[in-house]
C-alpha cells in the first residue's frame, strides 16, 4: 500500500492501492474545505500536528465508514506496544487515551485511522431521517462525519468507541454520534456534520440511525 499526503491538510495521509483513490479522497476533502465549518475542521486537525498526531484515510468499499484511534509514534515507544494498530494491546491503550477520562476530563489524545467508503453516501429524507443514498457526490458528508470523530480522538475527548452499545440511548457511543452530527444538546457546537450540511444547503440530519430509502 502507498501513502500520500492529502492536498488540503498537512497531517492527513491517504493510504491507497489505486491512484484514483487519492483523487477521490482529495476531491472530497476539497469539498469539505469549501465551507467555513469544513475549513475550521481541517485547521483543528492540523493544530495537533506538533504533538505528532495525524489522520490516515484508507478507502474501503467492502464495509461501512468507521474511525478508530491509533497511537502516535512517541506513545508506541512510551507504552511499549506493537506498531500495528490492529494489535489488541495497541488498540486497547489507544481507545483509553483518546477518550474522556471520568476524573480528569480530556485525555492526551491519539492519532486516528478512517476507513472510508465513498459509495456509502448518506442522504436525508423530508423529515431528517438518514438513509443510504445513490448520489456518490454526497459521500464527502460521510467523510466529514468521520473526520469529526477523528478530531475528537486527537483532542482526547471522544466518548464511546464501541458500536455494540450504539442502540443504548444513554450510552457514550450514542452520545458521541449525536455530538458529531450536532443534534439535541450538541446542536450549538461549532464543528458538526449538520453545520457542514447547512453551509452546503443540504438537508439536516435528525438522528444517527438509518432508515429505508424513500420510494
CATH of the domain at 32: 3.90.1240.10
Percent of the chain with pLDDT over 90: 81
Give the model confidence (pLDDT) of 162-177 as tens digits: 666 777 777 888 899 9
Backbone torsions φ then ψ of 44, nearest 5 degrees: -65, -40
User: Would you say how long the chain is, in residues?
Assistant: 215
Which of 1-5, 86-90, 104-108 has the least mean pLDDT?
Answer: 104-108
**Residue 210 clears pLDDT 90, i.e. is over it:** no
SS3 of the chain: CEEEECCCCCCEEEEECCHHHHHHHHHHHHHHHCCHHHHHHHHHHHCCHHHCCCEEEEECCCCCCEEEEECCHHHHHHHCCCCCCCCHHHHHHHHHHCECECCCECCCCCEEEEEECCCCCEEECCCCCEEECCCHHHHHHHHHHHHHHHHHHHHCCECCCCHHHCCCCCCHHHHHHHHHHCCHHHCCCCCCHHHHHHHCCCCCCCCCCCCCCCC
- In this structure, is residue 42 part of a structural domain? yes
Q: How many domains does the chain have?
A: 1
For residue 20, give Cα distances in angstroms to 56, 143, 180.
Answer: 17, 17, 28
pLDDT at 104: 66
- In this structure, is residue 14 part of a structural domain? yes
* Contact (Cβ atoms closer than 8 angstroms) between residue 122 and residue 130: yes
- In this structure, is residue 132 part of a structural domain? yes
Least Cα distance to 195 among 160, 147, 137, 153 occurs for 147
- In this structure, is residue 198 part of a structural domain? no
Assign 204 a pLDDT band (cuts: 50, 70, 90). very high
- In this structure, is residue 10 part of a structural domain? yes
Give the count of beta carbons closer than 10 Å to the beta carbon of residue 150.
30
**Residue 211 clears pLDDT 90, i.e. is over it:** no
The C-alpha atoms of residue 114 and residue 101 are separated, in whole angstroms, by 23
Give the count of beta carbons closer than 10 Å to the beta carbon of residue 135.
9
Q: Which residue segment(s) compose the domain that 120 sits in?
A: 2-158
- In this structure, is residue 30 part of a structural domain? yes
The C-alpha atoms of residue 80 and residue 108 are separated, in whole angstroms, by 17
Give the model confidence (pLDDT) of 37-72 as tens digits: 999 999 999 999 999 999 999 999 998 999 999 999
- In this structure, is residue 103 part of a structural domain? yes
Give the model confidence (pLDDT) of 80-101 as tens digits: 999 999 999 999 999 999 998 8
- In this structure, is residue 88 part of a structural domain? yes
Amino acid at each position: 500500500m502507498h501513502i500520500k499526503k492529502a492536498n488540503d491538510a498537512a497531517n492527513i495521509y491517504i493510504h491507497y492501492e489505486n491512484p484514483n483513490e487519492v483523487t477521490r479522497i482529495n476531491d472530497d476533502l476539497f469539498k469539505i474545505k469549501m465551507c467555513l465549518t469544513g475549513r475550521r475542521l481541517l485547521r483543528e486537525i492540523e493544530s495537533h500536528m506538533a504533538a505528532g498526531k495525524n489522520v490516515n484515510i484508507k478507502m474501503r468499499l467492502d464495509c461501512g465508514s468507521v474511525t478508530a484511534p491509533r497511537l502516535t509514534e512517541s506513545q508506541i515507544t512510551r507504552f511499549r506496544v506493537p506498531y500495528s494498530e490492529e494489535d489488541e494491546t495497541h488498540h486497547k491503550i489507544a481507545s483509553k487515551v483518546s477518550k474522556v477520562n471520568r476524573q480528569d476530563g480530556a485525555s492526551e489524545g491519539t492519532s486516528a485511522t478512517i476507513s472510508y467508503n465513498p459509495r456509502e453516501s448518506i442522504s436525508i429524507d423530508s423529515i431528517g431521517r438518514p438513509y443510504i443514498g445513490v448520489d456518490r457526490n454526497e459521500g464527502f458528508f460521510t467523510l466529514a462525519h468521520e473526520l469529526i470523530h477523528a478530531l475528537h480522538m486527537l483532542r482526547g475527548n471522544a466518548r464511546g468507541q464501541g458500536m455494540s452499545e450504539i442502540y443504548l440511548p444513554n450510552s457514550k457511543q450514542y452520545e458521541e454520534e449525536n455530538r458529531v452530527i450536532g443534534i439535541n444538546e450538541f446542536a450549538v457546537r461549532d464543528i458538526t456534520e449538520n453545520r457542514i450540511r447547512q453551509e452546503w444547503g443540504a438537508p439536516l440530519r435528525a438522528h444517527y440511525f438509518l432508515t429505508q430509502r424513500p420510494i
